[in-house]
Amino acid sequence: MFTGIVSDVGTILSAREQKSLRRLSVASRYPVRSLAIGASISHDGVCLTIVSKAARGKGSRYEVELGAETLARTTAGTWQKGKRLNLERALKIGDELGGHLVAGHVDGVATLVSRENVENMARLRFRAPKELARFIAPKGSVALDGISLTVNEVNDAMFEVFIIPHTLAETHWSQLAAGQNVNLEVDLMARYVARLAEAR
């Protein structure tokens, strides 16, 4: 589990195909001693497992593997060398829950329709896949590229979020432009409530 609070921005050093897998090498500021083989890290909202690690200056270089399902359902299929990724390590018991509970299991891909920059902040309007739009509500939570955000407005499949300067500075979203896709994970509670309603 994660909280949607980005703790580093990593960079893909290499991306290579291995049969039905894609293997990524990622550079991060996380000290290599703080990482464990088998540990989970959220990459733009996608939970991936560390399969190897090494020191890289004061930080680290580690590798993760992506399967066919992940490549098909997320933006990961387009990731290449040089791509920057929002990173978050898995939540530990006793950690502060600063955002909301995020599983790292991406539900689909949303598209940025418009961006309005306002004094080092940004108002972003996204289009969600129709089958996921019903889980998005005003004042509810969503995770976009691994960032926990509060929904301001909803209109059918369109929804709006507001990005503060800190979030723009601590993520790779300063360069996010209209037409780009992001990974969308709807709120776990919204999904379960909808399922219970359907069961009735």
Same fold, 8-89 and 108-199: yes
Give percent of the chain with pLDDT exceeding 90. Answer: 84
Q: Which of 27, 28, 26 is nearest to 15 (CA)?
A: 26
Write down the pLDDT at residue 194: 73
Task: Tell me the pLDDT tens digit for each residue of 126-139.
Answer: 999 999 999 999 99
Task: Tell me the pLDDT tens digit for each residue of 54-66.
Answer: 999 999 999 999 9
pLDDT band at 98 (very low <50, low <70, confident <90, very high): confident
pLDDT exceeds cutoff 90 at 16 = yes
Please state which CATH number belongs to domain 108-199. Answer: 2.40.30.20
Mean pLDDT of all residues in the chain?
94
SS3 readout for 107-162 = CEEEEEEEEEEECCEEEEEEECCHHHHCCCCCCCEEEECCEEEEEEEEECCEEEEE
The residue extents of the domains of the chain are 8-89, 108-199
Q: What is the dihedral of CA 81, 61, 167, 43, to 10 degrees?
A: 70
Task: Tell me the pLDDT tens digit for each residue of 27-48.
Answer: 999 999 999 999 999 999 999 9
Q: Which fold has domain 8-89?
A: Elongation Factor Tu (Ef-tu); domain 3 (2.40.30)
